[in-house]
Amino acid sequence: GNSVTQMEGPVTLSEEAFLTINCTYTATGYPSLFWYVQYPGEGLQLLLKATKADDKGSNKGFEATYRKETTSFHLEKGSVQVSDSAVYFCALMGYSTLTFGKGTMLLVSP
Amino acid sequence: NAGVTQTPKFQVLKTGQSMTLQCAQDMNHNSMYWYRQDPGMGLRLIYYSASEGTTDKGEVPNGYNVSRLNKREFSLRLESAAPSQTSVYFCASSGDRGRPYDEQFFGPGTRLTVL
């Protein structure tokens, strides 16, 4: 079946540091890939997505590239802000349902 | 345009009690979902409804029932609550079944504690 593996957190960074959160997946076929973000006390919201190999999704300074050869979709941001503190979930879309990773908490200090 | 709404926001039950979590969306989406979120487990799909009139089991359906009341509303029922059902429950909706790039929109969640 489908599965998503994310690096465990929390990831603790200072403001303006570079961020990488690793995500790898196992799936049959060619799934679409997503990063969702959950701010404290809220539901999840879509951050970015990629639908085919070599696609790069980007939003709010975050980027992730769909790498079929390494089955990866790592999330990156060049300069994090305190307001980026949240839990980040990598996910893949099978036929009609999402499979989520366990989430990675990001804590950014001033 | 409220998006996805859930009621209640918080609930405390005793073991064996029953309750229904309500979810509604105003985006005219076809598909709706119920997830539970537990520490260190990510989100796990309980049930989903690909379209009005259909429901399917997800990864963790035991102990739950669902009703797709109409296109807008999708409820989750716990017939006899157990402490293992203590969790945060999220409802989500999306536009079209089977579209590989479809985005799911999430509600704010219901925090349920079963004593």
Tell me the pLDDT of chain B (115 aa) as tens digits. 789 999 999 999 999 999 999 999 998 888 899 999 998 888 999 999 988 889 999 999 999 999 998 999 999 999 999 999 999 999 999 885 555 447 889 999 999 999 9
| Joined tokens for residue A36 | 């969702």
Which position has the token pair 């998503």?
A4
pLDDT at B99: 54
Q: What is the pLDDT of residue B79?
A: 93
pLDDT at position B78, please? 96
Residue B16 to residues B12, B47, B86, B110, B114, Cα–Cα distance (Å): 12, 21, 13, 19, 9
pLDDT of residue B100: 46
Contact (Cβ atoms closer than 8 angstroms) between residue A90 and residue A46: no
Residues of B in contact with A98 (CB under 8 A): 43, 45, 104
Collect the ranges in chain A with pLDDT lower than 70.
none
Which of A44, A46, A104 is most worth mutating to test chain B (most B CB atoms within 10 A of its CB)?
Answer: A44
pLDDT of residue A97: 84
A102 to B41: CB separation less than 8 angstroms, yes or no: yes
